[in-house]
Amino acid sequence: MQSHQFFVKHGPYPFKEIIKAINCTIDYSHVEDFEIYGVESLVNAQENEVTFLNSGKYKDISLKTKAAVCITSLNLSKFLPDKCIKLKVRNVLLAVNQVSRMFYPGADADYPDLTVMDSNQFKKKYSKVNFGKNVLIGKNVQIGKGTYVGSNSIIESNVKIGENCIIGSFVIIKNSLIGNSVNLKDGSKIGIKGFGFIAAKKKNIRTPQIGKVILEDGVEIGSNCTIDRGSISDTIIGKNTFLDNHIHIAHNVRVGENCIMAAQVGISGSTTIGNNTVIGGQAGISGHLKIGNNVKIGGASGVTTDISDNCQVMGYPAVPLRDFVKMRRKK
C-alpha cells in the first residue's frame, strides 16, 4: 500500500457502504460484507483496497491488479481478474470521485499549510542547511546537508529534500519528495493540487488529489514552473532531467531520466515520457499518452498520439519530422 502521507486517510469503510456511496444498483446481497481500507491505482492497490479502470489502454496492468474491488464500465470489466469484484457504473470517474472523498475528505482543495514557521526556529535541526531570509518550514520536514533554500521560500509539512540541492526564492514545495542535487529556480511551485474535475452541465465537480511529486536526483526545474501532485498515483521527474522556465507538468505525469524540455512546454495528465527525450519550447502533449525513449519533439508541436522510441516529430498535430517537411514543401 502506497502511503499518501500528505493526507490523513479516513476509513476503513464496509464494502456495502461504498456501493451505496456510488449509487450502484446491482444487487450484491450475496457477497459477504468486508472492510475496504483505501482507493489506489491498479498497480498499487492491495487486497483490501478499491481501484478503478476507465480505459482499455491499461488492460495489461488491470489484469494483474490485486485490488479486492474495481470500479469500471460494462465494457472494460472483462479486463479484470476473476476474483476482483467489478462495480460497473456509467460514469467511472464520478464514482471514483465519490469513493475518494470518503477516504480523503477535503482533498479536492489546496489548503495552505498554516503550521509553517521561520527557519530561524529550527536552527539546530537544520544546522547544515543554508537558508536565506524569511524561509518558512512546516512540521516533519527533512532537508539534507549542503542544501540551499533561497529567501521567502516555503517548505510545507512532511516534505523531504535531499543533500546539496539549490532551491531559489519564492519557491513552494508541498506533498513532495525531492532527491539530492536537485535545482529549483525562483518562483517554481512544486506539489500543488492537480487540475482534476468531472465536467458537469450545472456545476463541475473537483476530484480529490492525493498523490505526491517525486523529483529524482539531479533534476533541474526552471523559474515559474508548476509541477502538480498526482491525483491517486504520483507525478515523477526522473534523474538528471532538466526543465526550462514556465513549464507545466500535470498530475500523474512520469518523465524519464536525462530529458530536456525548453521553456513553456505543457504536459497533460497521466502522460509518460521515456529517457533522453528532448522537447522544444512551447510544445504541448495531450494526456494519457506514451512517449518513448530518445524521442525528439520540435518546438511548438502539439502531440496527440503515442510516439515510439527514437522518433522525431513536429507539427500540430505532430507527425514524423520528414512528413512535416514534405507537407511544408507541397504548400
61 binds its own copies, rule: CB under 8 A: no
Q: What distance lies between CA 131 and its chain's CA centroid?
A: 28
Cis peptide before 81 (omega within 30 of 0): no
Contact region with its own copies (CB under 8 A), list: 27-35, 40-48, 74-82, 130-138:
130-138
321 binds its own copies, rule: CB under 8 A: no
| Cell matching residue 270 | 497521466
Report the C-alpha gap between 305 and 288 in whole angstroms.
9
Q: Smaller CB distance to its own copies: residue 90 or 202?
A: 202
- 10-15 long-range CB contacts below 8 Å, 24 or more apart? 10/102, 10/103, 10/104, 10/105, 11/36, 11/37, 11/38, 11/102, 11/103, 12/36, 12/37, 12/38, 12/48, 13/102, 13/103, 15/68, 15/69, 15/85
Residue 248: active-site member: no
123 binds its own copies, rule: CB under 8 A: no
Say which of 10, 246, 251, 288 is annotated catalytic.
Answer: 251
Contact region with its own copies (CB under 8 A), list: 19-27, 34-42, 48-56, 262-270:
262-270
User: For its own copies, which residue of 144, 211, 218, 230 counts as binding (CB under 8 A)?
Assistant: 218
State the nearest-atom distance from the C-beta of 206 to its own copies, in Å. Answer: 7
User: For its own copies, which residue of 112, 125, 140, 145 counts as binding (CB under 8 A)?
Assistant: 112
Site string for its own copies, 270-289 (x = CB under 8 A): ------x-x--xx-x-x---
The answer to whether 67 touches 51, Cβ cutoff 8 Å, is: yes
| Dihedral, CA of residue 227, residue 228, residue 232 and residue 233, to nearest 10 | 0
User: For its own copies, which residue of 27, 114, 124, 329 counts as binding (CB under 8 A)?
Assistant: 114
State the nearest-atom distance from the C-beta of 285 to its own copies, in Å. Answer: 9
User: For its own copies, which residue of 133, 139, 145, 322 counts as binding (CB under 8 A)?
Assistant: 133
State the nearest-atom distance from the C-beta of 73 to its own copies, in Å. Answer: 22
Site string for its own copies, 221-260 (x = CB under 8 A): -xxx-x-x-----------x-x-xxx-x-x-------x-x
Q: Smallest Cα–Cα separation from 50: which of 37, 32, 31? A: 37
118 binds its own copies, rule: CB under 8 A: yes
Report the C-alpha gap between 247 and 106 in whole angstroms.
27
State the nearest-atom distance from the C-beta of 3 to its own copies, in Å. Answer: 24
| Cell matching residue 331 | 504548400
Report the C-alpha gap between 301 and 282 in whole angstroms.
7
Max Cα-Cα span within the chain: 68
136 binds its own copies, rule: CB under 8 A: yes
Q: Smaller CB distance to its own copies: residue 86 or 193?
A: 193
Q: Which residues contact 331 (CB under 8 A, 6 or more apart)?
A: none
Q: Smaller CB distance to its own copies: residue 40 or 216?
A: 216
State the nearest-atom distance from the C-beta of 264 to its own copies, in Å. Answer: 5
208 binds its own copies, rule: CB under 8 A: no
**Residue 309 DSSP one-character state:** T
User: For its own copies, which residue of 86, 101, 160, 189 counts as binding (CB under 8 A)?
Assistant: 189
Q: Smallest Cα–Cα separation from 19: which of 11, 29, 10? A: 29
Residues in the chain: 331
195 binds its own copies, rule: CB under 8 A: yes
Q: Please give the residues from 20 up to 49 whose contact with its own copies meets the rule CB under 8 A.
A: none
State the nearest-atom distance from the C-beta of 46 to its own copies, in Å. Answer: 32
State the nearest-atom distance from the C-beta of 55 to its own copies, in Å. Answer: 18
The catalytic residue positions are 251
